[in-house]
Every structure is written in structure tokens, then in C-alpha cells.
């Protein structure tokens, strides 16, 4: 697998080194996910955070980076083997 779930687990337990060893992409994804969770969790309590307003271009770039990272980390050649967990 990609190590994303295990990396997120270690990130929640504040083991940043182990999380990075399992999946470096988690450091790009986790802040975005955390903000989205806070955005919708705090709304019923009357706390309004600014909306993200991500353009389609940013979303496409993010998804392309995710795809490229997923492909590169599964190549059996150095230096791409460094991305494996």
C-alpha cells in the first residue's frame, strides 16, 4: 500500500519522523484535511472559518502530484525506493 493510513496514524501520535518515512505526501494532505474537518466541525457551534475557495487548477495540480507520487514510489529503482515504507 501507500502507507497513508499508517502515516496518518503516526502523525496523530506526533511521531513525525515515522510518518514521513511511511508517506511524505501526508505532510501536504494532512493540513488540508485538518482544515476541512475543522471547517465543518466548528460550523454548528457558530464558529465560521474562511472557506478555502480552491480553484480547479489547484485541485488538478494537487491530484496530479498525488498520482505522480503514487507512481514514483512504486518504481523499483533508486532513488524512488526511498519513498517506500
pLDDT digits (tens, 9 = 90+) for 46-75: 999 998 888 899 889 988 988 988 888 888
What H or E segment, with its residue span, contains residue 71? Answer: helix 56-72
63 Cα distance to chain centroid: 11
- pLDDT of residue 85 exceeding 80: no
Query: CA separation (Å) from 41 to 37, 48, 78?
Result: 6, 10, 42
- Encode pLDDT of 14-38 as tens digits: 998 888 888 888 888 888 888 988 9
Preceding omega of 43 cis (within 30 degrees of 0): no
Torsion angles phi and psi, residue 77, rounded to 5: -115, 145
Provide the terminal-to-terminal Cα distance of the chain, rounded to the nearest Å: 9
- State the Cα–Cα distance between residues 15 and 9, nearest whole angstrom: 9
Domain residue limits, the chain:
4-83
pTM: 0.64
Amino acid at each position: 500500500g501507500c502507507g497513508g493510513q499508517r502515516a496518518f496514524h503516526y502523525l496523530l501520535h506526533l511521531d513525525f519522523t515515522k510518518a514521513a518515512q511511511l508517506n511524505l505526501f501526508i505532510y501536504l494532505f494532512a493540513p488540508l484535511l485538518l482544515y476541512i474537518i475543522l471547517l465543518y466541525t466548528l460550523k454548528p457551534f457558530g464558529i465560521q472559518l474562511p472557506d478555502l475557495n480552491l480553484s480547479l487548477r489547484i485541485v488538478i495540480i494537487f491530484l496530479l502530484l498525488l498520482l505522480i507520487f503514487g507512481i514514483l514510489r512504486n518504481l523499483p529503482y533508486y532513488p524512488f525506493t526511498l519513498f517506500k515504507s
